[in-house]
Amino acid sequence: MATKIKDQTASDRGYVDLHEHIAALRKAGLLFEVDREINKDTEMHPLVRWQYRGGVEEEDRKAWLFTNVSDAKGRKYDIPVLVGGLAANSAVYKLGMGCELDEIKETWIRALNNPIDPHEVPFDEAPCHDLVYEGDDLLNGHGVDQIPVPISSPGWDNAPYFAASHFITKDPNTGIQNMGNYRSMVKAPNRVGFNPSIELRTGGYMHWEEWKKRGEPMPCAIVIGAPPIVSFTAVQKVPEKFDEFQISGGLCGKPLNVVRAKTVDILVPAEAEIVIEGYISTDLLEPEAPFGESHGHVNLQEYNGFMDVTAVTRRKDAVMVSWVSQVTPSESSAIKRPAYEAAQMEHLRDHLGIKGIKHVSTHEPLTSLHKLIIAVVDRDMPRTEIWRALYGIASLRRAEGKWVIAVNEDIDPDDTNAVFWAMSYRCKPHRDVEILKNKDEGHGPRSMQDSNDSAVLIDATLKETYPPVSLPKRQYMERAAEIWYELGLPKLKPQRPWYGYDMGEWNEDLETMAQRAVRGDYWQTGEIIAQKRRGDLKMNTEVRTLGEGTPGAGDRTKDKGGLTWDGLTDASHSLQVQPKE
């Protein structure tokens, strides 16, 4: 007789669920459990942010489990929040993958080449259906508002956003599902945002376009918390002929358990923690953001999709998962990096047949993995093959690779000083540099002057105003530092930038929304932006291009908790909070 799904062990499944992963983190000494009350709207993410911006070495970073969560209104939540739980550092990532660090790249390549179809289980056997809420329940405390979603960049974000939100959609023509990780604004107890990356041609956006052609809303399920192999594949870019669940199976060598959702025709991971079901409008878009993004700036308001929620299902002992994203390095970049690098290696080695590639390194700090990519190659690799590799890296995805550099094995690609040394003494620009024109500007602040981009040589000086740096404002970081020291944690070593500051594209309306958010009044913002719905715009249309809330010369405001770009000095970055002797 087959073992019931709820009674299966990790050995039976071939992979750990999130609860088993947390137990493994605890056993390995990689979990920091916080039982004191923490405000999810103003304290949680700034606190964890310090292990990325406070001089804490990578190997000393840990996963954080918050078990006593409240919000700006004083509400208490019965769902704990896991932050940094999947990739606080490489040791945490290794536990979730279930393989040694030196096996991770080949494990990914093997999974991409050997996908395994998922296994559908009965509805009543799936842990994700322990509790099911729909209808009136969604407006009586059991909708999205039961989930303790943190504010990622307090002082800038206009609401809490799901950061580890795995959107599962289906192509209406082929029936093939796609799972992608997109941010999702909390707008109402029964309404959340949908913001796919259209510049990357994500599956969720392409499916949305197909449903739009049909004149039908798009069914969708959002997974919040899942077995680590599910979350790891949610950020991977795989060919459209595959369902990411097949790649999850390929990672562990066994089929992933899936179950049909309650109110939409979508398969979801049976061991998911929380699932939000609903339909995404294909007729109307509404304003969304500002939100601190991984390219290091606040993404200003855009018109994007929204989902009307039809059900929320969850485990009885559900754990809410949130990723620290925004300025890299972060948990989000640590989750993406092995997958992105493996995809580049697989593309160069297995599809282009290039020999001599030892490693592809996506530079992480501040550049968000996309812009600076370094190929480590054999010393004897022919120059023609080196150039094929450089062009191959830049061509894999249309917005990836602004600076693509080849170095030999004696250069550590993670040591930028060593890379600059190689560029200075091993390269003659007139002979060894090419400019690849007409690249997509991709993930980053969108230029109001020129949407075209190029690779390798580009003027990177600031020529126009930019959105704020997407870190919490100074007062929230300093308050988090006080809590950090109350918890007896090591002395912080702030690294610039360690708080967010305005760079010219911030105005009174955006500030008002951000202040509502930290007071817990973001539902009011959700009501206001719902009144601005339009059906005549393309997805990702920025509000400022329409004259709605665009700052004029007299509107630009200074960050009340810090300084403008022009006022930054070394002294302004000194942390006022110090540990007690």
**Cβ atoms of 398 and 452 closer than 8 Å:** no
Whether 143 shows a pLDDT value over 50: the answer reads yes
CB atoms within 10 A of CB 333: 25
Whether 140 shows a pLDDT value over 80: the answer reads yes
Of 1-10, 156-165, 443-452, which one has max mean pLDDT? Answer: 156-165
Query: Domain check: are 555 and 413 in the same one?
Result: no
Residues 282, 278: Cα–Cα separation, whole Å: 13
At 416, which CATH number?
A: 3.40.1670.10
Q: What is the pLDDT of residue 517?
A: 95
Amino acid identity of 57?
E
In a domain, 491, yes or no: no
In a domain, 346, yes or no: yes
Query: Domain check: are 365 and 282 in the same one?
Result: no
Give phi and psi for 210, each to the nearest 5.
Answer: -70, -40
In a domain, 578, yes or no: no
Whether 277 shows a pLDDT value over 70: the answer reads yes
Place of tokens 């999205």: 144
In a domain, 464, yes or no: no
Provide the CA 343 distance to its chain's centre, in angstroms. 18
Q: Number of structural domains, the chain? A: 3
- Percent of the chain scored above 70 by pLDDT? 85
Kindly provide the residue ranges of all beta strands, DSSP E only, lying in 231-345, ordered along the sequence.
257-260, 267-269, 274-280, 286-288, 291-292, 298-299, 302-314, 320-322
Query: Domain check: are 295 and 337 in the same one?
Result: no
Query: Domain check: are 238 and 311 in the same one?
Result: yes
Q: What is the pLDDT of residue 343?
A: 80
205 pLDDT band, cuts 50/70/90, is: very high
Whether 556 shows a pLDDT value over 70: the answer reads no
Q: What is the pLDDT of residue 564?
A: 41
Q: What is the pLDDT of residue 563?
A: 34
Give phi and psi for 515, each to the nearest 5.
Answer: -70, -35
Residues 390, 385: Cα–Cα separation, whole Å: 9
State pLDDT tens for residues 319-371: 999 988 766 666 666 676 777 787 888 888 888 999 988 888 887 766 666 68
* Helices 244-252, 104-113: crossing angle, 10 deg rounding: 130
Give phi and psi for 327, each to the nearest 5.
Answer: -60, 125
In a domain, 494, yes or no: no
**153 closest CA partner among 69, 41, 240:** 41
DSSP strand pairing (81-83 vs 320-322): parallel
Tokens representing residue 171 in the block: 């192509």
Query: Domain check: are 415 and 271 in the same one?
Result: no
Query: Domain check: are 346 and 421 in the same one?
Result: yes
Query: Domain check: are 190 and 289 in the same one?
Result: yes
In a domain, 26, yes or no: yes
Query: Domain check: are 403 and 504 in the same one?
Result: no
Q: What is the pLDDT of residue 115?
A: 94
148: domain range?
5-322
- Percent of the chain scored above 90 by pLDDT? 53
Cα 5 to Cα 257, 271, 318, distances in angstroms: 8, 9, 17
At 74, which CATH number?
A: 2.30.110.10
What's the whole-number mean pLDDT along residues 238-252?
89
Enter the DSSP assignment of 59: G
Out of 273, 302, 322, a domain closes at 322
Q: What is the pLDDT of residue 551?
A: 41
- Compute the C-alpha angle 41/315/165, nearest 5°: 50
Tokens representing residue 266 in the block: 């979508």
Query: Domain check: are 102 and 218 in the same one?
Result: yes
**Cβ atoms of 529 and 548 closer than 8 Å:** no
3-state SS class at 304: strand
In a domain, 482, yes or no: no
Cα 454 to Cα 209, 371, 424, 435, 458, distances in angstroms: 28, 11, 21, 7, 7
Place of tokens 């209406």: 172
Cβ burial, residue 541 (10 Å; 0-12/13-18/19+): middle
Enter the DSSP assignment of 164: S
CB atoms within 10 A of CB 100: 9
**Cβ atoms of 363 and 384 closer than 8 Å:** no
In a domain, 469, yes or no: no
Out of 455, 487, 521, a domain closes at 455
Query: Domain check: are 66 and 102 in the same one?
Result: yes
Query: Domain check: are 255 and 386 in the same one?
Result: no
Query: Domain check: are 447 and 553 in the same one?
Result: no
Q: What is the pLDDT of residue 550?
A: 42
Buried b (16+ CB within 10 A) or exposed e, 164-200: bbbbbbbbeeeeebbbbbbbbbbbbbbbbbbbbbbbb
State pLDDT tens for residues 518-535: 999 999 999 999 999 999
Whether 1 shows a pLDDT value over 60: the answer reads no
Q: Is the dihedral of CA 172, 176, 181, 186 positive or negative?
A: positive
Q: What is the pTM of this model?
A: 0.75
| Per-chain mean pLDDT for the chain | 85
Q: What is the pLDDT of residue 318?
A: 98
DSSP strand pairing (38-39 vs 69-70): parallel
Give phi and psi for 219, each to the nearest 5.
Answer: -70, 145
**Cβ atoms of 88 and 30 closer than 8 Å:** yes
Q: What is the pLDDT of residue 164?
A: 92
Q: What is the pLDDT of residue 561?
A: 37
State pLDDT tens for residues 159-192: 999 999 999 999 999 999 999 999 999 999 999 9
Out of 424, 455, 486, a domain closes at 455
